[in-house]
Amino acid sequence: MLLPWLACAEHLRLVADSWPPFTDQRLPGNGVATELVSTALSRAGYTSDYREVPWQRAVLGVQRGDYDVLITAWYSQEREAFGYFSAPYLVNRIRLVQRKGAAISFSKLSDLYAHEIAVRRGYAYFPAFTADRQLQTVEVSSFENAARMVHRGRVRLALEDEYVARFLFNHALKDIADDLEFLPAPLSENNLHILIRLSHAGHAEIARRFNAAIAAMQADGSYAEIMARYGLQGPR
């Protein structure tokens, strides 16, 4: 009975950039976000394949219809012009990283005005941060580059999701990890969504079925099992 259903299941083209441990073709399951999304979509009745390209190309590809689903999207109003957001399926806690002992204090955005901050190019952190023209931001292609700029003293701070930063401190940035530290207060907590291209006739239905599948995975323990395989805790 399953084979005819699988044969006619709609196929979705998933895309993201390399953002370990969430998305990375070198990781089992292509990363925890990729595995969560592809598993939920499979339960929702879709087949899928995953492509990994630079972030700006991924966003442009969804806009042009080259891909159907951007699997790691933070909400921004401008993205609603070309995409349809699912409910959040993960939470990203965004942290500021400084050189150890730099003694930068932060409780409000104005505390950061005196410091250059390396940020990921094209990322929507949160509206107040993006709109504040007094912040001195320097765009970079990856957190690895941002962290090394902090280490060399080229900027004072870098921004990244806490899970991502800790993962890289244990791998690609292990050589400088002991010289870097998080500021105590997080900058923000951002919900992670899939973004389905509006030009797909079934965008709302895909989101509805995906949301239901994620809820079912959280209820039956399979969501937590996937998170645990990557050494991550469940939903906050």
pLDDT tens column, 111-137: 999 999 999 988 878 889 989 999 999
pLDDT tens-digit map of 14-67: 999 999 999 999 998 999 999 999 999 999 999 999 999 999 999 999 999 999
Closest CA to 165 of 188, 187, 182, 141: 182
Which residues, including other chains, have CB under 8 Å from residue 140's CB and lie 6 or more apart? 118, 119, 120, 121, 146, 149
Whether 4 shows a pLDDT value over 80: the answer reads no
Distance CA(22)–CA(72), nearest Å, equals 8
Q: What percent of the chain has pLDDT over 90?
A: 86
Nearest to 90 by CA among 41, 40, 28, 33: 33
d(CA 97, CA 87): 29
Q: Given pLDDT bands bounded at 50, 70 and 90, which one contains residue 216?
A: very high
Give dist(CA 66, CA 223) in Å, integer: 29
- 197 or 121, which is more confident? 197
Residue 8: per-residue pLDDT: 65
Q: Is 176 exposed, middle or buried (0-12, 13-18, 19+ CB in 10 A)?
A: middle
pLDDT of 186 reads: 93
Query: 25 CB contacts (<8 Å, ≥6 apart)?
Result: 18, 50, 52
- Higher-confidence residue of 141 and 231: namely 141
User: Is the pTM for the entire model greater than 0.85?
Assistant: no
Distance in angstroms (rounded) separating the CA atoms of residues 193 and 40: 13
Mean pLDDT, the chain, as a whole number? 93
Q: Is the pLDDT of residue 6 over 80?
A: no
Q: How many residues does the chain have?
A: 236
